[in-house]
Structure 1
């Protein structure tokens, strides 16, 4: 409907534009004669209608409004028109209202949408600094030269499901582990049974930041004396490798195998023991995940004959885990091996790979051929 009206109005506007060009070649006397003739025709039509008002189409009203509104009101009243001057002015007002309404529909209501990069920056600041409220983030953005209202920061955080109020000051256990990874050593014990029916206990420790694993020892009788000596051996290993100074926390469970003496031994070198909560293995999640990996990749796939065989298998797996196996948390590097530089296209075409088997083929390692 609207499209048809616009098409008809355009047709009328173009036809009258050509008519206006035709008037340019007419003299004033000719124009006066034509005006008198048209007025007489209008009077005849009004007399024939018998007082009935002619029906005008929307495009006719729009054309009348566009042509006649620029004239003064007194001039409009002197003209002999099919509609009164007030009606023509009302048509013009309706035309302007419809035009304004179309412009408002195309505009987006409310304030303009915040740029995506600013929204990402707000969420990044909130993630990196859990204790910051929305006003603290607003101040940091001001220092960066980002002009944004504090209420907008609040809305961005609220929409993303982040509490904008400063009640996020409590540090979660996961945040603590990430922030203190360089200073955390975690420990756990693993149980396994050899083919001769003997139950063996493996004590292992893992560094959170580097993911380096140390097999502290294996025994069939984890007495307090054995555990204490194993802790001393671990501290000597850390001192020999130069890592003892950076370790400040040791996470372990509340197993009765750990004597109270080890807390004093660790405290003497500046390491604080952090016991996990009751039935809360997630507090030692990195070690628990490594235990699962050890069982999946070694213990569940190998027939362990006795304690000697177990120690040999654990030494081989420790070497493989620290020196070759990739880690997602280390961007595909190994704890003791950096990720190599990517090969060039021509090197990839000439690439030859050799496989090295360990522990009877349980562990496969792939290396570039020399």
Structure 2
């Protein structure tokens, strides 16, 4: 009655948007991030913060440390915003999906907000809400962390940098029609080219990962 007296019309019928619909419709505008824990041979627990783009699946390793303090995480997010701006991608990103881990300080939401990126929190103990990020973490563990002997933080950092390069430029993805996140699918070969086809293999890091390309 109060709204009617003030001349305010009833609200239009709103339809609920499911989480899956949101992820699918906004994929080009979504980044997601998470921490990955691993223990080196020195016995030290390391925390790696990484972010992934939902549409292109390109991943960015934001840093590795044994002490993920609020100051460290804040600086990592500031660096991410600067990198996105330098690459000309900042304007396209509108959402950052993350969980409610206490390692994230509240100030990072303000930093992202200043860049017009809205933080979207997943529900408590609901990893499927951050499924793209979780899928990358499983790939990282299966393809690198569970197969390599990593001595210390410096060794882990080098291995993660190599994996990031491999994942972004060489690892194919079915949702991308077998392209890599930052590398287009090569043009089909003509039959005469296939007859003389030579393949060169590159092993990295230390033979854990294999990359193949046409020999010139």
Q: TM-score range by the shorter chain?
A: over 0.9
Look up the match of 1:37: none
Q: Does residue 1:170 correspond to 2:16, yes or no?
A: yes
Look up the match of 1:288: 134
Structure 2: how far apart are the matches of 1:184 and 1:259?
Answer: 20
Measured against aligned partners, the alpha-carbon deviations of 1:284-329 in whole angstroms (never above 9, x if no partner) come to 0000000000000000000000000000000000000001110111
More strand by share: 2
Structure 2: how far apart are the matches of 1:209 and 1:323?
Answer: 15
Structure 1: how far apart are the matches of 2:114 and 2:16?
Answer: 30
Look up the match of 2:180: 334
Determine which structure has more spread, i.e. the larger CA radius of gyration.
Answer: 1
Q: Does residue 1:360 correspond to 2:201, yes or no?
A: no
Are residues 269 and 348 of structure 1, via their aligned partners in 2, closer, same or farther at CA, if it must alter by over 3 Å?
Answer: same
Query: What's the offset of the Cα at 1:354?
Result: 1.1
More helix by share: 1
In the TM superposition, 1:67-146 aligns within 5 A as none
Aligned match for 2:40, one of 180, 194, 207: 194
Query: What's the offset of the Cα at 1:261?
Result: 0.5
| TM-score, normalised with respect to structure 2 | 0.92
| TM-score, normalised with respect to structure 1 | 0.54
Structure 1: how far apart are the matches of 2:56 and 2:109?
Answer: 24
Structure 1: any 5+ residue segments left out of the alignment? 1-166
Look up the match of 1:211: 57
Q: Does residue 1:297 correspond to 2:143, yes or no?
A: yes
Look up the match of 1:164: none
Q: Does residue 1:322 correspond to 2:168, yes or no?
A: yes
Q: Does residue 1:259 correspond to 2:105, yes or no?
A: yes
Question: Which runs of at least 4 in structure 1 moved beyond 3 Å after TM superposition?
Answer: none
CA RMSD of aligned residues (A): 1.3
Query: What's the offset of the Cα at 1:169?
Result: 3.9
Structure 2: how far apart are the matches of 1:168 and 1:333?
Answer: 38
1:267 partner SS: helix
Query: What's the offset of the Cα at 1:168?
Result: 11
Count the aligned residue pairs.
Answer: 204
Query: What's the offset of the Cα at 1:171?
Result: 1.9
Q: Does residue 1:279 correspond to 2:92, yes or no?
A: no
2:146 partner SS: helix
Structure 2: any 5+ residue segments left out of the alignment? 1-12
Q: Does residue 1:311 correspond to 2:157, yes or no?
A: yes
